[in-house]
Amino acid sequence: MPETELPGPEQTRPHRILVIDDEAVVCLSCARILTAEGYQVECKQRSEEGLNLALTGEYDVILLDLVMPDLSGLEVLERLKAASVPSEVVIITGYSTIQTAVEAMKLGAADYVSKPFTPDELRLVVRKVLERSALIKENVELRRRLQSQEGFEGVIGDSAPMEQVFRLVKRVAPTQGTVLITGESGTGKEMIAHAIHNLSPRKDKPFLAFDCSSLVPSLIESELFGHVKGSFSGAIATKQGLFEVADKGSLFLDEVGNISLETQGKLLRVLETRMVKKVGDTVEREVDIRLIGATNRDLLEMVRQHTFREDLFYRLNVIPIDIPPLRERAGDIPRLAMTFLERYRKTYQFKARYFAPEAMALMESYAWPGNVRELKNVVERIAIMCDSEMIRPNHMPPEMQRVPVRPIPAAIPRTWEEFRVYKRQACEGIIQELECQFIMQALERSGGNVSKAAQEVGMQRTNFHALMRKHRLTGEDLIPKDSGQ
């Protein structure tokens, strides 16, 4: 199977490629190179014949010569786009300037290759175009799956904090405003970004996600903006950046706080001018994307420390959306846990089907430092290890079994509504008590140094301060009562 083929039931045949070029030697070369890669290749030297074949829409990629005696490549391209042919078009040219190639790209060509080209150059450009096409199809399928899932655009939660997030998403999604999503790791920032895209006018265009912490700084620019052939060691072919690939769609930059100051400046220019320039290129290209950023870091604190540009912060923070941690939305835990359990049970035929009330109480009392991601992993672990239909406290992880649970009241509520109110109050009370103890112990370990305490527990300093204010904690709370001071 060629590297460009995607495994799964939908990919049942090799990719089909049509070459339209009036030069027989070019047709033969393309056929020889690409057939060796496992592709099915057909060639036409007359552009009219090639156009008729291309209009069938049965080809994944069309390699189209720009200069031909009857119909030019641009004319063929215009007719294909007018007919909404889904095939990706790669322009072959030995005569064009960069302006002509850009014109072809504006008409809808996916890429171009200049004659004479090497076998590696042809293989790379075809592979890149096929990967881009597959990525767009995967995102369309992901959007369809998200729409079919329970919850708000696939995001599960009916607690008051999440309802507020959902209302904000509905309000900002139809706009073009840049969004900055903040929240602790594991809270579902990418899911919210997907929801914004799915409810926007761009929903039928690509949604691309990039983790800014996944590459070394020197490679992030190439990934975001692309590069031209020969711009650095190893750049053996021109590459489109994510800004170009996501044109007319949405680009999600996760962990945007990890971008270097130099790249921050270039990102700011793209956001202000809507023009992008490949690494090593001299030509800027217009892009139309909606940027959605996300971070679990305190960008304002980074601005104060001069590690994040202030102008870029305000350019990203046009519409801020803060995702609450799971400990602040304990009411969502039962629904989340049951949803995850049902998915694993259906997928793997696990025996576990229910949570005993005592087991669910432990889950609702736990602080969940890893948030929804941790909950999902814990449910999978429990489902694998549990050998009965009922999940009981002894099936829970050891750290969860040590969490104190509020005792059952002397007077059991008589109605379901009264029970729901008590249950919510009990969960909130336990969380508040644990939260207060958590902050106090962290401060005690750090000797009252707030910055040190926040760093030790893995929180942003501003969030740590907010919790101190919430529980009315000051430095005086750390002074022993019998110290005499």
pLDDT by residue (tens digit) across 322-369? 999 998 888 888 888 888 888 888 888 888 888 887 788 888 888 899
| 8 A C-beta contact, residue 111 and residue 90 | yes
Domain with 457 in it: what CATH number? Answer: 1.10.10
pLDDT given for residue 412 in this prediction: 58
Residue scoring higher pLDDT (130 or 465): 130
Do 261 and 176 fall within a single domain? yes
Alpha carbons within 13 angstroms on the beta-carbon side of residue 277 total 13
Do 340 and 318 fall within a single domain? no
| Mean pLDDT of the 181-189 span | 94
pLDDT given for residue 296 in this prediction: 93
pLDDT at 451 over 80: yes
Do 158 and 253 fall within a single domain? yes
φ, ψ for residue 274, nearest 5 deg: 60, 30
| 8 A C-beta contact, residue 104 and residue 83 | no
Do 40 and 119 fall within a single domain? yes
User: Which of 401, 435, 456 finishes a domain?
Assistant: 401
Residue scoring higher pLDDT (93 or 411): 93
- Give a yes or no: residue 29 inside a domain: yes
pTM of structure: 0.57
Question: Which residue range is the domain that position 467 belongs to?
Answer: 416-478
Count up the domains in the chain and report the number. Answer: 4
| 8 A C-beta contact, residue 100 and residue 114 | no
Do 388 and 441 fall within a single domain? no
**Mean model confidence pLDDT for the chain:** 82
- Give a yes or no: residue 406 inside a domain: no
Coil, strand, or helix at residue 355? strand
User: Which of 133, 161, 190 finishes a domain?
Assistant: 133
φ, ψ for residue 411, nearest 5 deg: -105, 110
Do 386 and 266 fall within a single domain? no
| Mean pLDDT of the 185-206 span | 93
Domain with 338 in it: what CATH number? Answer: 1.10.8.60
Do 341 and 314 fall within a single domain? no
pLDDT at 4 over 50: no
Please report, rounded to a whole number, the percentage of residues in the chain having pLDDT higher than 90: 38
| Tens-place pLDDT, residues 10-65 | 444 789 999 999 889 999 999 999 999 899 999 999 989 999 999 988 899 999 98
| 8 A C-beta contact, residue 418 and residue 411 | no
pLDDT at 483 over 60: no
Angle at 461 between CA 460 and CA 466, to 5 degrees: 100
- Give a yes or no: residue 312 inside a domain: yes
Q: Among 105-109, 323-327, 403-407, 449-453, name the one with the lowest average pLDDT.
A: 403-407
The two three-digit tokens of residue 17, written as one number: 């490629």
Do 123 and 157 fall within a single domain? no
pLDDT at 444 over 90: no
Q: Among 98-102, 109-113, 173-177, 257-261, name the one with the lowest average pLDDT.
A: 98-102
Do 296 and 392 fall within a single domain? no
Residue scoring higher pLDDT (159 or 292): 292
| Mean pLDDT of the 170-176 span | 95
pLDDT given for residue 324 in this prediction: 93
- Give a yes or no: residue 204 inside a domain: yes
pLDDT at 161 over 60: yes
**Residue 120: count of CB within 10 angstroms of its CB:** 11
Do 128 and 106 fall within a single domain? yes
| Tens-place pLDDT, residues 403-439 | 665 444 445 566 776 666 666 656 665 666 677 778 8
- Give a yes or no: residue 165 inside a domain: yes
φ, ψ for residue 252, nearest 5 deg: -105, 115
pLDDT given for residue 467 in this prediction: 79
Top mean-pLDDT range of 14-23, 153-162, 218-227, 278-287? 14-23
- Give a yes or no: residue 434 inside a domain: yes
| 8 A C-beta contact, residue 187 and residue 324 | yes
pLDDT given for residue 150 in this prediction: 54
pLDDT given for residue 408 in this prediction: 47
pLDDT given for residue 323 in this prediction: 95
- Give a yes or no: residue 298 inside a domain: yes
**Confidence class for position 203, pLDDT limits 50, 70, 90:** very high
Domain with 87 in it: what CATH number? Answer: 3.40.50.2300
Do 87 and 207 fall within a single domain? no
pLDDT given for residue 404 in this prediction: 62
pLDDT given for residue 410 in this prediction: 44
Phi/psi zone of residue 470: left (φ > 0), alpha (ψ -120 to 50 degrees), beta? Answer: alpha
Return d(Cα 201, Cα 182) in angstroms, integer.
Answer: 23
- Give a yes or no: residue 169 inside a domain: yes
Domain with 180 in it: what CATH number? Answer: 3.40.50.300
Do 112 and 179 fall within a single domain? no
pLDDT given for residue 485 in this prediction: 34
